[in-house]
């Protein structure tokens, strides 16, 4: 009751009496629901929701958020449903509570998947209402404050999850106070011995520092007062987790990190921020290249401040942050300051843009684990700021490339990207971007993402969009191949794909249990379902065949050198012009082999698994082919050989040299060619070299 009285007193400073009554009503409802439940510490369970409400009240959140805080575990831990909460209170509060509740009704295959599913659900709820995440952060913060009663293993697991996901989210939403507490509590739980050692070292270092801090603080205050600038100057204490991270990243000792003194100067207006910067520059010498203006170009989370490093008295490095009161509120409370300071409209749209971006990634991700992998890459805040050709500022993570920039502009721009210009000069798509650069993306109508981009892109949006496109392309290609295979199988029943009736499709769906006919075609194309078996299922009972026909009449036509579903066997390297057979491999689709390939001997007689193929007259692309060159060893012969191949407009894919003796050797080559005629031209040019004794293609 003391906690509730203290909460009511705290709420009376900014909420209406009727809103406070609604919160107390939610408290009574939750207390009734949780009346027989206790925390592991032995306390009544209701103490937890009350503590969460206290954290949100400190942030001056609205009454619906505090009602949701009181009720946030009711759906998960009691028999009360979302509908009952909506009936007792209102649908908005019910949506908030549901957004925070865990997915306890689903059976998960692993703890990682459960964590990912919960986070994915929160993201969807956040997209509708950002307050879901604020309640969740407050819930996690109180759990972190009361970790002591859990086992060491459980403490470490929860701490790791907090440091990996919740602290970066608090930072992305700009809630610095919560982010810092997450990191300190997480550090203490993850590495208790290191934490205690560093805590003692910080206390020991604090004594001699106090005089220096006071001296610098006084000199700044006196100079600002002289210039007529009203300000609050405070020395900032470094946080143990940030000291620990800097020690690891910069390979520096505790003392080297602690030797930098940090100050925050809070003034009345933006104009005063820049005037104050001039004052401190006159007082102490700035370090070149260390000035950052987050007022002109705010961080993604809405954070604004001037940052600089100066050399103070006695040669001591000083970090200075200069900001207004509104900016300070935004820095400490982030998105929550939207409710605290109604004039601060910037925070909510910025946070909403980030959440909408998460929603887009969620829609493209294959599953919750893939989604959380994308999001974790996007949560770390080191950023570069680049310009579009029209002067618009776009912020990207440090190390981002032009491909990341293209997807940040628009998914279609990313998908159509073929080249880029950085500051007017053509540049590689994998080149890391630098702040201040102007980027122009060159697109082409028929271009598509390159799978190799996944090796260097940094942003979650780019990564998920590329994967989404490739999955979609694989789906389309497997469906197209499935149609061709089914069309060929249907010829045995005197019909073809174009003549399929709706009743046949319905029969196939009933027999296979598939939800759509497209799904059946995709399974055929991927080699997971036999085309002949599907054709036999679709046919009327009177036309069904009991045995497999000895051979299929029409071959499948191969018309491309590239494809996600048609693969070319590496054992025999088929090229256009070769007699070929197809082997359906589950998950890989159709694998094309040369007719003479020994690896097909065991299944050659199985007409469903191994089928005749033919090359389309319009087939295009480069196909790897393997051959050997026996030659007399002479200086420069390999360079001459490579030159002959290049003159034949073929590209060397792979080369290796084996010496037979001191005078001769065998060169193994894999070369990209268009077809058999092209290969014959390449081999003829090689044979014309006097050092070459024999050239022959490898069969297997």
Can you read off the two tokens belonging to residue 160? 């790791």
Active site residue 76: yes
Q: What residues have CB less than 8 Å from 237, skipping those under 6 apart?
A: 202
**pLDDT at 112 > cutoff 80:** no
Q: Which residue has the higher pLDDT, 258 or 416?
A: 416
| Distance set, CA 473 to CA 32, 315, 367, 412, 480 (Å) | 54, 61, 18, 15, 11
Q: Which H or E run includes 622?
A: none
**pLDDT at 442 > cutoff 80:** yes
DSSP per-residue string spanning 417-474: EEEEEETTEEE-TTPPP-TT-BEEEEE-TT----GGGGGT--SHHHHHHHHHHHHHHH
pLDDT interval class at 29 (50, 70, 90): very high
* Length of the chain, in residues: 700
**How many angstroms separate the CA atoms of 128 and 151, rounded?**
36
Q: Check: CATH 3.30.70.260 for 623-697? A: yes
**pLDDT at 50 > cutoff 80:** yes
CA of residue 611 relative to chain centroid, distance: 41
- SS3 of 358-393: the string is HHHHHHHCCCHHHHHHHHHHHCCCCEEEEECCCCCE
Q: Which residue has the higher pLDDT, 299 or 126?
A: 299
**pLDDT at 343 > cutoff 70:** no
Strands of 595-640 (E only): list them: 610-620, 623-632
Q: CA angle, corner 655, sides to 649 and 656, nearest 5?
A: 155
Q: Which of 76, 84, 319, 608 is catalytic?
A: 76
Q: Check: CATH 1.10.10.10 for 2-190? A: no
**How many angstroms separate the CA atoms of 100 and 85, rounded?**
14
**pLDDT at 457 > cutoff 60:** yes
Asked if domains 199-344 and 623-697 share a fold, the reply is no
Q: Which residue, 120, 34, 124, 24, is CA-closest to 73?
A: 34
What is the per-residue pLDDT for 189?
94
Q: Which residue has the higher pLDDT, 206 or 18?
A: 18
What is the per-residue pLDDT for 607?
61
**pLDDT at 395 > cutoff 60:** yes
What is the per-residue pLDDT for 128?
66
Q: What is the pLDDT of residues 197-250, one digit of tens each?
A: 988 887 777 666 777 788 888 889 999 999 899 989 988 767 888 888 888 887
| CATH class of the domain at 382-447 | alpha beta
Least confident of 165-174, 240-249, 374-383: 374-383
Can you read off the two tokens belonging to residue 657? 């040299």
What is the per-residue pLDDT for 505?
81
What is the per-residue pLDDT for 104?
35
Long-range pairs of 241-246 with CB within 8 A, sequence gap ≥ 24? 241/180, 241/183, 241/184, 241/186, 241/187, 242/183, 243/198, 243/202, 244/187, 244/191, 244/194, 244/198
**pLDDT at 651 > cutoff 90:** no
DSSP per-residue string spanning 563-600: -SSEEE-TTT---TTS-EEEEEETTTEEEEEETT-GGG
Q: Which H or E run includes 232?
A: strand 231-236
Q: What residues have CB less than 8 Å from 277, skipping those under 6 apart?
A: 306, 308, 322
Tell me the β-bridge partners of 656: 668
Q: Average of pLDDT values for 489-495?
A: 76
Q: Which residue has the higher pLDDT, 244 or 382?
A: 244
CA of residue 549 relative to chain centroid, distance: 50
- In the chain the first and final C-alpha atoms are separated, in Å, by 82
Q: Percent of the chain, pLDDT > 90? A: 21
**How many angstroms separate the CA atoms of 218 and 224, rounded?**
10
What is the per-residue pLDDT for 617?
75
**pLDDT at 26 > cutoff 90:** yes
**pLDDT at 628 > cutoff 90:** yes
Average pLDDT, the chain: 81
| DSSP structural state of residue 44 | B
What is the per-residue pLDDT for 684?
92
Maximum distance among all Cα pairs of the chain, rounded to whole angstroms: 103
**pLDDT at 300 > cutoff 80:** no
What is the per-residue pLDDT for 372?
60
**pLDDT at 183 > cutoff 90:** yes
What is the per-residue pLDDT for 259?
62
Q: What is the CATH number of domain 199-344?
A: 3.30.460.10
What is the per-residue pLDDT for 146?
92
Q: CA angle, corner 606, sides to 603 and 607, nearest 5?
A: 130
User: What region, left, alpha or beta, does residue 636 occupy, with left being phi > 0 and alpha being psi -120 to 50 degrees?
Assistant: left
Angle between helices 176-190 and 240-250 (to 10 degrees): 70
What is the per-residue pLDDT for 551?
45
What is the per-residue pLDDT for 188?
94
What is the per-residue pLDDT for 340?
44
Least confident of 40-49, 90-99, 353-362, 611-620: 353-362
Domain coordinates in residue numbering, the chain: 2-190, 199-344, 382-447, 468-620, 623-697
Q: What residues have CB less than 8 Å from 168, skipping those under 6 apart?
A: 179, 376, 379, 380, 381
Gyration radius (Cα) of the chain, Å:
34
């Amino acid at each position: 009751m003391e906690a509730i009285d203290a909460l009511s007193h705290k709420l009376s400073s900014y909420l209406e009496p009727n809103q406070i009554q609604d919160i107390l009503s939610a408290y009574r409802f939750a207390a009734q629901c949780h009346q027989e439940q206790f925390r592991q510490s032995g306390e009544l369970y209701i103490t937890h929701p009350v503590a969460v409400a206290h954290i949100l009240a400190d942030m001056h959140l609205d009454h619906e958020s505090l009602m949701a805080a009181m009720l946030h575990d009711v759906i998960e831990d009691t028999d009360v449903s979302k509908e009952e909460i909506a009936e007792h209170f209102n649908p908005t509060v019910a949506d908030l509570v549901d957004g925070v509740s865990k997915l306890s009704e689903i059976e998960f295959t692993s703890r990682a998947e459960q964590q990912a599913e919960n986070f994915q659900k929160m993201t969807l709820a956040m997209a509708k209402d950002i307050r879901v995440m604020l309640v969740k952060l407050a819930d996690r913060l109180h759990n972190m404050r009361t970790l002591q009663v859990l086992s060491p293993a459980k403490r470490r697991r929860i701490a790791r999850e907090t440091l990996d996901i919740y602290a970066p989210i608090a930072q992305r939403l700009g809630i610095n106070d919560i982010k810092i507490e997450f990191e300190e509590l997480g550090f203490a739980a993850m590495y208790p011995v290191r934490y205690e050692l560093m805590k003692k070292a910080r206390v020991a270092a604090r004594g001699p520092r106090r005089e220096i801090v006071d001296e610098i603080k006084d000199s700044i205050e006196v100079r600002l007062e002289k210039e007529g600038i009203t300000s609050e100057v405070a020395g900032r204490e470094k946080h143990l987790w940030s000291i620990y991270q800097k020690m690891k990243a910069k390979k520096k000792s505790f003392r080297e990190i602690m030797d930098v003194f940090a100050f925050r100067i809070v003034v009345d207006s933006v104009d005063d921020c820049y005037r104050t910067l001039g004052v401190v520059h006159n007082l102490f010498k700035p370090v070149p290249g260390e000035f950052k203006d987050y007022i002109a170009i705010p961080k993604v989370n809405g954070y604004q401040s001037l940052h600089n490093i100066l050399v103070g008295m006695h040669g001591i490095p000083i970090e200075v942050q200069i900001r207004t009161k509104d900016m300070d509120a935004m820095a400490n409370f982030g998105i929550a300051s939207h409710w605290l300071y109604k004039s601060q409209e910037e925070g909510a749209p910025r946070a909403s843009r980030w959440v909408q971006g998460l929603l887009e990634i969620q829609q493209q991700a294959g599953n919750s684990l893939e989604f959380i992998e994308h999001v974790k890459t996007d949560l770390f805040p080191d950023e570069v700021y680049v310009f579009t050709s029209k002067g618009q500022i776009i912020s990207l993570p440090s190390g981002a490339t032009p491909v990341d920039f293209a997807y940040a502009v628009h998914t279609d721009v990313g998908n159509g990207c073929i080249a880029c210009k950085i500051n007017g000069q053509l540049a590689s798509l994998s080149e890391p971007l630098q702040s201040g650069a102007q980027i122009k993306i060159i697109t082409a109508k028929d271009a598509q993402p390159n799978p190799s981009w996944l090796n260097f892109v940094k942003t979650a949006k780019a990564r998920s969009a590329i994967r989404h496109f490739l999955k979609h392309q694989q789906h389309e290609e497997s469906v197209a191949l499935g149609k061709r295979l089914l069309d060929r199988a249907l010829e045995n029943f005197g019909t073809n794909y174009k003549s399929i009736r709706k009743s046949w499709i319905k029969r196939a769906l009933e027999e296979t249990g598939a939800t759509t006919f497209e799904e059946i075609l995709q399974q055929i194309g991927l080699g997971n379902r036999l085309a002949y078996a599907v054709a036999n299922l679709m046919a009327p009972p009177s036309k069904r065949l009991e045995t497999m026909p000895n051979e299929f009449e029409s071959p499948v036509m191969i018309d491309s050198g590239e494809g996600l579903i048609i693969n070319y066997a590496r054992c025999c390297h088929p090229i256009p012009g070769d007699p070929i057979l197809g082997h359906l491999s589950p998950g890989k689709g159709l694998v094309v082999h040369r007719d003479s390939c020994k690896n097909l001997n065991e299944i050659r007689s199985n007409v469903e698994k191994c089928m005749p193929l033919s090359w389309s007259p319009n087939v295009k692309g480069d196909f790897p082919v393997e051959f050997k060159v026996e030659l007399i060893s002479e200086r420069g012969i390999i360079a001459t050989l490579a030159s002959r191949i290049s003159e034949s407009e073929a590209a060397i894919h792979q080369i290796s040299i084996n010496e037979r003796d001191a005078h001769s050797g065998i060169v193994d080559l894999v070369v990209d060619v268009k077809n058999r005629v092209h290969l014959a031209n390449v081999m003829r040019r090689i044979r014309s070299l006097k050092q070459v004794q024999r050239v022959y293609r490898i069969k297997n």
